[in-house]
Chain A
Amino acid sequence: MTGMAVEPSASSEPLPRAKTDWLPLLLVPALALLALPLVGSGSTWVTLTVAGLAMGMMIFLMASGLTLVFGLMDIINFGHGVFISLGAYASLLVLGPLAAWAQAESVWLNLALLLLCILAAMGVTGIVGTVFERVIVRPVYGSHLKQILVTMGGLIVAEQAIHAIWGASPIPIPLPATLRGAFIIGDVVMERYRLVAVGIGLLVFVGMQLLLNRTRIGLLIRAGVENPEMVEALGYRIRRLFVSVFVAGSALAGLGGVMWAFYRQTLTAGMGMEVMVLVFIVIIIGGLGSVGGCFVGSMLVALVANYVGFIEPKLALISNILVMALVLIWRPQGLFPVARR
């Protein structure tokens, strides 16, 4: 956090502080409260809400990297989905040799296994992300159409590579023993794994907020999202920052991929691509380049999908698009617009 401690000398009156834009943040609790009478049963509402938050956290994990890449680098990376799939498959590198840990009736061993899977996924996707940026993305900086075409091409090649390495058939990955099942408190059912997903999602969100708001590198990323040219004119090498953010975004997708894979308990090469529509919806709802917006957008989309799926299942398929349309009518640049694009 070098260089952050700059303050004007003591003044008699306190300096005004920035007002927090609370309205978008209130959307999530407001939505939950609105759903309560419509759902009817309190216990069902709690179950749906916890499940929705867990789903939202997983979407956030998968989308947070893309919003930074989109916002900072102005790169439309349709290949982001492959990092989700690749991260999920990378967990096999750990699950194979440590299969006994998954069967052990020890919470700590099971959580350690999950942590190792996450580290393996982030490592593999980070390395592949470095190559992907260098070989596929870098030649098409500044051209959105080429980016869409080339990153889609990269996605197809990478998916086929996954087929070649791990086979085309779906691979089952059972949850570690103590993460299966649910806590039942009265009539409320809360799946253990979903609670773990909420915890990990919150940790990542808080970590990213601290990084972005309390460190110089975070300041640089936020400034770069707004005006990369000016960041360079201040003497910072933004190209290195671009690569770092791309790699971090890929690694976050890998992390999301592992969490998503354990949730589905099945690996398929196309699993990343399947959630990309959701991922794009939440980063548009949140505002390009905004991690906070991405977080709120993920919660909104997941909660709405859960509530609508219960109350009026026929509307579940279009609920996400409806949420996006309503948010964009209210705030055309998204909930927390950052990037000026």
Chain B
Amino acid sequence: MAEPLLQLSGVHTHIGPYHILHGVDLAAPAGQLTMLLGRNGAGKTTTLRTIMGLWRASSGTIRFDGRDIAKDGTPDIARTGIGYVPEAMGIFAALTVRENIVLAARNGPVDSARLDWMFGLFPSLKRFWNLPAGDLSGGQKQMLAIARAIAEPRRLLLIDEPTKGLAPVMVRSMIEAFRALKAAGETILLVEQNFYAASALGDNVIVMDDGRVVHSGLMSELVADKNLQRRLLGLSLDAHQ
């Protein structure tokens, strides 16, 4: 594995009276796509939100490029170069597609080469450029949410369930877009429930259950080992059915 750009060590998160993350240890190597898998309620979304500072880690360290960001505020964490796509996409529905992108490019106008690259990944955004983002379909909103995260160069992308609720054709488009992002050398930590999408994309895989990391390794090993798949993913399902 390459040197981790992001490293969580013993991270605990409480939301109100609930103890959600129980000492999470994980790493996202630079330039690779790391999949975060697990059943509903395993703690995947909480992990991403804790990294972004949207929920505060009660203990543990979150090192990004060697510096502990666990105590930083969300804007400061974003300014270190972390792009975030939440599960609910978080697009600004009343703003146009263009305005959503303008806002995401905090350091100034998006240059035309980057814009063309984004339109190459998500062609429909160009067509709806001047329309309110709220008028887009679910898949297009997801594309906008990801385009917003890459509107300017980021060092790490945190993406939460991008294929959730999308039609199969849209899932395939999304997989192609992530392949292109991987090829561009982006470091990505991607939460996914769709194992087909995850296995097609991931370099590494982390499996969570009950707020803990229960497995981490290469995706190719998990894809090749049916017993491991059944034990990790099947076991989680059985335990909660």
CA distance A9 to B93 in the complex (A): 24
Chain B: CB-nearest residue to A238: B75
- B19 at interface by CB-CB < 8 Å: no
Q: Which of A16, A17, A230, A236 is in CB contact (< 8 Å) with B92?
A: A230
Evaluate whether A11 and B105 lie within 8 angstroms (CB atoms) in the complex, with A16-B131, A237-B75 already known: no
Asked if residues B130 and A230 are in contact (CB atoms below 8 Å), the reply is: no
Q: From B78, B116, B129, give the contact of A15 (CB < 8 A).
A: B129
Q: How far is the CA of A227 from the CA of B130 in the complex (A)?
A: 20
Structural contact, B90 and A222, CB atoms closer than 8 A: no
- B103 near A234: Cβ-Cβ < 8 Å: yes
Q: Is the CB of B90 within 8 A of A4?
A: no
- A15 near B127 (CB under 8 angstroms)? yes
Contacts of A229 in B (CB 8 A): 54, 74, 90
Q: Which of A64-89 contact B (CB under 8 A)?
A: none
Q: Can you name the residue of chain A whose Cβ is closest to the Cβ of B110?
A: A6
Shortest C-beta distance, B143 to chain A (Å), equals 15
Task: Select from chain B the residue with minimum beta-carbon distance to A8.
Answer: B126
Q: Report Cα–Cα, A129/B75, bound state, in Å.
A: 25
Q: Tell me, yes or no, whether B20 is within 8 Å of chain A by CB.
A: no
How many residues does chain A have at the interface if contact means C-beta atoms less than 8 Å apart? Answer: 32
A227 touches B105 (CB 8 A): no
Residues of B within 8 A of A16 (CB): 127-128, 130-131
The CA of A226 and the CA of B94, in the complex, are separated in Å by 8
- B residues 62-96 in Cβ contact with A at 8 Å: 73-75, 78-79, 84, 86, 90-96
B94→A338 contact, CB < 8 A: yes
- Which A residues, 209 to 268, have Cβ-Cβ distances below 8 Å to chain B? 216, 219-220, 222-223, 225-227, 229-238
Partner of A233, one of B90, B119, B127, B135: B90
Known: A233-B52, A233-B84. A9 touches B104 (CB 8 A): no
Whether B106 and A236, one on each chain, are in contact in the complex, defined by CB atoms closer than 8 angstroms, is: yes
Q: Which residues of B contact A11 (CB under 8 A)?
A: 126
Complex CA distance for A10 and B136, rounded to whole angstroms: 22
Given contacts A16-B127, A235-B79, contact A227 B90 (CB under 8 A): yes
B106 near A223 with CB under 8 A, answer no
Interchain CA distance A225-B90 in the complex, whole Å:
12
Please pick, from A4, A18, A225, the residue contacting B132 in the complex, using a CB distance under 8 A.
A18
Q: Are A219 and B132 in contact (CB under 8 A)?
A: no
Contact A232 B74 (CB under 8 A): yes
Q: Given that A6-B105, A229-B54, A233-B84 are contacting pairs, would A18 and B131 also be in contact in the complex, using a CB cutoff of 8 Å?
A: yes
Q: Contact between A232 and B75 (Cβ–Cβ < 8 Å)?
A: yes
Instruction: Assess A222 versus B95: contact at CB under 8 Å? Given A3-B108, A18-B130.
Output: yes
> B95, A8: Cβ atoms under 8 Å?
no
A338 to B134, CA, bound (A): 11
* A9 interface neighbour in B73, B79, B91, B112, Cβ under 8 Å: B112
The distance in angstroms between the C-alpha atoms of A341 and B129, with both chains bound, is 27
In the assembly, what is the distance between CA of A17 and CA of B127, in Å? 10
Q: Judging by beta carbons under 8 Å apart, are A234 and B93 in contact?
A: no
A233 touches B78 (CB 8 A): yes
Nearest chain A CB to B26's CB is how many angstroms away? 20
User: Do A15 and B130 have beta carbons less than 8 Å apart?
Assistant: yes
B98 interface contact, C-beta 8 A: yes
**B109 interface contact, C-beta 8 A:** yes
Min distance, Cβ B73 to any Cβ of chain A, angstroms: 8
- A233 contact set on B, CB distance < 8 A: 52, 54, 74, 78, 84, 86, 90
- Tell yes or no: A2 within 8 A of B by CB: yes
Cβ of A3 and Cβ of B99 under 8 Å apart?
no
Please give, as numbers and ranges, the residues of chain A lying within 8 Å of B91 by CB-CB distance: 230
Q: CA A231 – CA B104 in complex, angstroms? A: 9
Output the nearest chain A residue to B113 by Cβ-Cβ distance: A9
Tell whether B115 is near chain A: CB-to-CB under 8 Å: yes
In the complex, chain A residues whose CB is within 8 Å of the CB of B132: 18
B115: contacting residue among A6, A15, A226, A237, CB under 8 A: A6
With both chains docked as a complex, state the minimum distance between the C-beta of A67 and any C-beta of chain B, in angstroms: 14
The distance from the CB of B127 to the nearest CB of chain A, in whole angstroms, is 7
| Contact residues in A for B112 (Cβ distance below 8 Å) | 9
Inter-chain CA distance A5–B98, complex, in Å, is: 10
Report B's interface with A, CB cutoff 8 A.
52, 54, 73-75, 78-79, 84, 86, 90-96, 98-99, 101-106, 108-110, 112, 115-116, 119, 126-132, 135, 148
Q: Can you pick out 30 interface pairs between chain A and chain B where the beta carbons lie within 8 Å of each other?
A: A2-B108, A3-B102, A5-B109, A6-B101, A6-B102, A6-B109, A6-B110, A6-B115, A9-B115, A15-B129, A16-B127, A16-B128, A16-B131, A222-B92, A222-B95, A223-B99, A226-B94, A227-B92, A229-B54, A230-B86, A230-B92, A231-B103, A232-B74, A233-B54, A233-B74, A233-B78, A233-B90, A234-B104, A234-B106, A235-B106
A8-B129, A230-B91, A233-B54 known, 6 other contacts, Cβ within 8 Å: A6-B109, A6-B115, A232-B54, A233-B74, A233-B84, A236-B106
